[in-house]
Amino acid sequence: MSKNYVIGFPRIGEKRELKKALESFWEGGCEFSEVRKVAKELRKRHLLYQKNSKIEYISVNDFSFYDNMLDTALMINAVSKRFKGIEDKTELYFAMARGRDDLKALEMTKWFNTNYHYIVPELSENDEYRADISKIEEEYKEAKELGINPKINIIGPITFAALSKREDGGDTFEFFEKILRVYEDVVRKISKLDKEIILQIEEPIFVKDLNSKVLSLIKPSYDRLSKAADNIKIALITYFEHAKEAVKILVNTPVWAIGLDFVYGKENIEILNYFKNSDKVLIAGVVDGRNVWINDIEKSVKLLENISKYIPKQKIIPSTSCSLLHVPFTLKYEKRLDNKIKSMLSFAVEKLEELNLISKIFFEEKLDEKEEKALAKNKEAMKLKNSFSQKREDLKKKAENLSFDRELEFKDRIKIQHSILKYPILPTTTIGSFPQTKEIREVRRKFKDSLISKEEYEEAIKKYIDEAIAFQEEIGLDILVHGEPERGDMVEYFGSLLEGFAFSENGWVQSYGSRCVKPPLIYKEVYRKEPMTLKWITYAQSRTKKIVKGMLTGPVTILNWSFVRDDREKKDVAFEIALAIREEVEDLQNSGIKIIQVDEAAFKEGYPLREDKIKDYEKWAVESFKLSVSLAKPQTQIHTHMCYSDFNDIIKTIEAMDADVISIETARSGNELLKVFKRVGYTREIGPGVYDIHSPRIPSVEEMQKQIESFLEVLPKEQLWINPDCGLKTRKWKEVKESLKNMVKAAKRVRDS
Ligand code: GLN
Ligand code: ZN
CA distance 355 to 305: 15
Secondary structure (3-state) at 448: helix
Give yes or no for residue 665 CB within 6 A of ligand 1.
no
Average pLDDT taken over every residue of the chain: 96
pLDDT digits (tens, 9 = 90+) for 437-476: 999 999 999 999 999 999 999 999 999 999 999 999 999 9
Give the distance (Å) from ligand 1 centre to CA of residue 665.
11
pLDDT digits (tens, 9 = 90+) for 325-377: 999 999 999 999 999 999 999 999 999 999 999 999 999 999 999 999 999 99
Report the atom number in ligand 1 closest to the C-alpha of 601: 8
Under 8 Å between Cβ of 495 and 487: no
- Which is nearest to 518 in space by CA: 496, 533, 498, 500? 496
CA distance 131 to 35: 25
Alpha helices in 269-347 (DSSP H): 297-307, 339-343
- Which is nearest to 647 in space by CA: 612, 686, 621? 686
The closest residue, in CA terms, to atom 5 on ligand 1 is: 727
Note the pLDDT of residue 396.
77
CA distance 657 to 659: 6
Give the distance (Å) from ligand 2 centre to CA of residue 644.
7
Domain match, 712 and 659 both: yes
46, 418, 482, 694: the catalytic one is 694
432 within some domain: yes
Which ligand neighbours the alpha carbon of 493 most closely? 1
The closest residue, in CA terms, to atom 6 on ligand 1 is: 727
495 within some domain: yes
Give the distance (Å) from ligand 1 centre to CA of residue 23.
25
| Reported confidence tier of residue 672, pLDDT bands at 50, 70, 90 | confident
Give the distance (Å) from ligand 1 centre to CA of residue 491.
10
Q: Whole-prediction pTM value?
A: 0.95
φ/ψ (deg, to 5) at 498: -90, 150
Burial of 487 (0-12, 13-18, 19+ CB in 10 A): buried
Q: What is the average per-residue pLDDT within 52-57? A: 97
| Reported confidence tier of residue 1, pLDDT bands at 50, 70, 90 | low
Domain match, 537 and 456 both: yes
- The residue out of 388, 418, 447 marking a domain boundary is 388
Tell me which long-range contacts 712-720 makes (C-beta under 8 A, separation of at least 24).
712/750, 713/671, 714/671, 714/674, 714/675, 714/677, 714/678, 715/674, 715/677, 715/678, 715/686, 717/425, 717/426, 718/425, 719/683, 719/684, 719/685, 719/686, 720/425, 720/426, 720/685, 720/686, 720/687, 720/688
Q: In what order do the strands lie in the sheet with 257-261?
A: 59-60, 151-155, 197-202, 232-237, 257-261, 281-287, 316-320
Domain match, 89 and 30 both: yes
Beta-carbon contacts of residue 536 (< 8 Å; ≥ 6 apart): 461, 465, 482, 486
Give yes or no for residue 487 CB within 6 A of ligand 1.
no
Domain match, 441 and 378 both: no
> CA torsion 619→601→9→568, rounded to 10°?
-40
Please determine, for residue 667, whether its predicted confidence score (pLDDT) is greater than 90.
no
Which ligand neighbours the alpha carbon of 689 most closely? 2
pLDDT digits (tens, 9 = 90+) for 552-591: 999 999 999 999 999 999 999 999 999 999 999 999 999 9
Give yes or no for residue 662 CB within 6 A of ligand 1.
no
Ligand 1 test: best mutation among 440, 490, 493, 640, most atoms within 8 Å of CB?
Answer: 490
Domain match, 370 and 427 both: no
Q: What is the average per-residue pLDDT within 230-252? A: 98
Give yes or no for residue 640 CB within 6 A of ligand 1.
no
pLDDT digits (tens, 9 = 90+) for 396-425: 787 788 999 999 999 999 999 999 999 999
Q: What is the average per-residue pLDDT within 269-295? A: 96
398 within some domain: no
Report the atom number in ligand 1 closest to the C-alpha of 551: 1
pLDDT digits (tens, 9 = 90+) for 480-539: 999 999 999 999 999 999 999 999 999 999 999 999 999 999 999 999 999 999 999 999
Beta-carbon contacts of residue 699 (< 8 Å; ≥ 6 apart): 690, 691, 692, 739, 742, 743
Domain match, 326 and 467 both: no
Alpha helices in 476-611 (DSSP H): 492-497, 534-542, 555-560, 570-590
Beta-carbon contacts of residue 459 (< 8 Å; ≥ 6 apart): none
Domain match, 437 and 364 both: no
Note the pLDDT of residue 400.
81
Question: How many domains does the chain fold into?
Answer: 2
Beta-carbon contacts of residue 718 (< 8 Å; ≥ 6 apart): 425
Residue-wise burial string across 15-43, b where 16 or more C-beta atoms lie within 10 A, e elsewhere: ebbbbbbbbebeeeebebeebeebbeebb
403 within some domain: no
Secondary structure (3-state) at 516: strand
Domain match, 378 and 464 both: no
Give the distance (Å) from ligand 1 centre to CA of residue 332.
33
103 within some domain: yes
Phi-psi region of 277 (alpha: psi -120 to 50; beta: other; left: phi over 0): alpha
747 within some domain: yes
Q: What is the average per-residue pLDDT within 105-123? A: 94
Note the pLDDT of residue 199.
98
Give the distance (Å) from ligand 2 centre to CA of residue 433.
10
Q: Which domain holds residue 158?
A: 17-388
Give yes or no for residue 726 CB within 6 A of ligand 1.
yes
393 within some domain: no
- The residue out of 323, 358, 388 marking a domain boundary is 388
CA distance 31 to 23: 11
DSSP 289: S
Q: What is the CATH number of the domain that holds 35?
A: 3.20.20.210
Domain match, 344 and 428 both: no
Ligand 1 test: best mutation among 430, 640, 641, most atoms within 8 Å of CB?
Answer: 641
Give the distance (Å) from ligand 2 centre to CA of residue 490.
11
Bridge pairing between strands 151-155 and 165-166? unpaired
- Which is nearest to 362 in space by CA: 281, 290, 289, 307? 307
Give yes or no for residue 605 CB within 6 A of ligand 1.
no
Note the pLDDT of residue 380.
97
Q: CB count, 10 Å around CB of 531?
A: 17
CA distance 237 to 265: 13
Domain match, 288 and 417 both: no
Beta-carbon contacts of residue 446 (< 8 Å; ≥ 6 apart): 452, 457
612 within some domain: yes
527 sits in which H/E element: strand 521-528
Give yes or no for residue 431 CB within 6 A of ligand 1.
yes
Amino acid at 593: I
Give yes or no for residue 490 CB within 6 A of ligand 1.
yes
Under 8 Å between Cβ of 16 and 331: no
Give yes or no for residue 491 CB within 6 A of ligand 1.
no
Secondary structure (3-state) at 451: coil
234 sits in which H/E element: strand 232-237
CA distance 390 to 435: 41
Give yes or no for residue 664 CB within 6 A of ligand 1.
no
Domain match, 291 and 190 both: yes
Residue 694 known to be catalytic: yes
Name residue 598's beta-bridge partners.
552
Length of the chain as a residue count: 753
The closest residue, in CA terms, to atom 10 on ligand 1 is: 727
Kindly state the percentage of the chain with pLDDT values over 90: 93
Domain match, 420 and 365 both: no
Please determine, for residue 708, whether its predicted confidence score (pLDDT) is greater than 70.
yes
